[in-house]
Amino acid sequence: MRGVVQSTFDTAAIEREKRTILQEMEEVEKVEEEVVFDNLHYTAYQTSPLGRTILGTEENIKNMTRDLIVNYIQANYVAPRMVVVATGPVEHEEIVNLVDKAFAKTPTTPSGASVVDLQPAYFTGSDIRVRDDEMPLAHIATAWETVELTHADSPATMVIQAMLGSFDAQYPSAVHSSSNMISVLAGDNPRGFPLVQSAMTFNTQYSDTGLFGVYYTAEMDNVMEAQWAVMREFQRLCHNASDESVEMAKVQLKSTIVGQLDSSLSQVCEDIGRQMLNYGRRLSLAEMFARIDAVDAPTVRRVATGLFNDKCIAVSAKGNTSSLPDYNWLRRHTWSLRY
């Protein structure tokens, strides 16, 4: 707590941290998944602050000064924007008393020239490709804009994410997955072998928007067929989502949520903090399960149609992407007359 409200922001410490951040930026550039998702946000929200990376630009980091940091803290670290969470063997009243004392002088309203303007995020259908034919694999993410975290259809998107699933070539049994997309990508296709090295369905939700899609890595010769399988599965959700597949996904989703509660305390804290900032309270497990149980096949088809059917997409690709179809092909495959 003292680090937040009583930090001295020593100039020498700031310079050391700047060097650390610059080193982190170099490491991030070596992680293909990080680059793809940074670029995905950049192209999807190219006119909004959400499109900027967390670390910022090298120029901004080098030009950062103590005065800039202090002004930002004073303007934006205000009580209504803070949530203090504690988990483990703690007493609620004790934590409340500690927080009252530690944050007693925290301002309640933003002030100064450094107040952050919380601009709305605007989604733009577009793509960004970093082609490098020397790389052994193509890393590709395809995303649609989805609803914000507190939206009434948010539980349905969570179920859809569970329906689509994930895959890693180290686990060949995925060919028998309940997800048709994963089965095809894992080897249940005319070629008889996996089309991708790995695939992951993501559902990243914010306070006013979100990105829902699939990220996969594949050899150049398999990209076209893998991308077709992905686009076709989103159309299947709009028209053919079955009761059985939805019920299986709901069971899997609830199991995942329970498992997360048994994970590290830091992850539990993060989940509670996110809910407090978005809902103003923590949702009980019973309430979460009730929301999930309310999702049925017609709901999935309705939500999928509203989000994915004939909608603009954002695509980020890096690596040997020569066989990835152009944006017009991808956009055309967001709808179908064959179901």
Domain check: are 312 and 261 in the same one?
yes
> Cα–Cα distance between 292 and 163 in angstroms, integer?
13
Q: Which of 68, 102, 136 is a domain's end point? A: 102
How much is the pTM? 0.91
Domain check: are 138 and 267 in the same one?
yes
Q: Is residue 252 a part of any domain in this protein?
A: yes
Within 165-242, residue ranges assigned H as helices are 180-186, 223-240
SS3 category, 198: strand
Q: Is residue 297 a part of any domain in this protein?
A: yes
CATH code, 221: 3.30.830.10
Domain check: are 131 and 223 in the same one?
yes
Domain check: are 203 and 146 in the same one?
yes
Domain check: are 195 and 82 in the same one?
no
Domain check: are 91 and 150 in the same one?
no
Domain that holds residue 316: 126-332
Number of domains in the chain: 2
> Cα–Cα distance between 128 and 111 in angstroms, integer?
38
**Residues 176 and 189 sit within 8 Å (Cβ to Cβ):** no
Which residues of the chain fall short of a pLDDT of 50?
Answer: none
DSSP 208: S
Q: Is residue 108 a part of any domain in this protein?
A: no
Q: Which of 69, 102, 135 is a domain's end point? A: 102
> Cα–Cα distance between 102 and 337 in angstroms, integer?
62
- Residue whose C-alpha is closest to residue 48's, from 201, 207, 280, 200: 207
> Cα–Cα distance between 253 and 292 in angstroms, integer?
8
> Cα–Cα distance between 61 and 64 in angstroms, integer?
5
Distances (CA, A) of 88 to 3, 85, 92, 263, 288: 22, 10, 11, 12, 22
Domain check: are 69 and 172 in the same one?
no
Domain check: are 67 and 163 in the same one?
no
Query: Residue 129: what pLDDT?
Result: 97
Domain check: are 148 and 217 in the same one?
yes
Q: Is residue 273 a part of any domain in this protein?
A: yes
> Cα–Cα distance between 292 and 242 in angstroms, integer?
16
Q: Is residue 213 a part of any domain in this protein?
A: yes
Query: Residue 170: what pLDDT?
Result: 77
Q: Which amino acid is at 266?
A: S
Domain check: are 130 and 242 in the same one?
yes
Query: Residue 4: what pLDDT?
Result: 64
Domain check: are 94 and 131 in the same one?
no
Main-chain dihedrals φ then ψ at residue 215, nearest 5 degrees: -115, 130
Domain check: are 285 and 138 in the same one?
yes
Q: Which amino acid is at 315?
A: V
Over residues 114-157, the pLDDT tens digits come to 677 778 899 999 999 999 999 999 999 999 999 999 999 999 99
Q: Is residue 114 a part of any domain in this protein?
A: no
Q: Is residue 338 a part of any domain in this protein?
A: no
Q: Is residue 201 a part of any domain in this protein?
A: yes
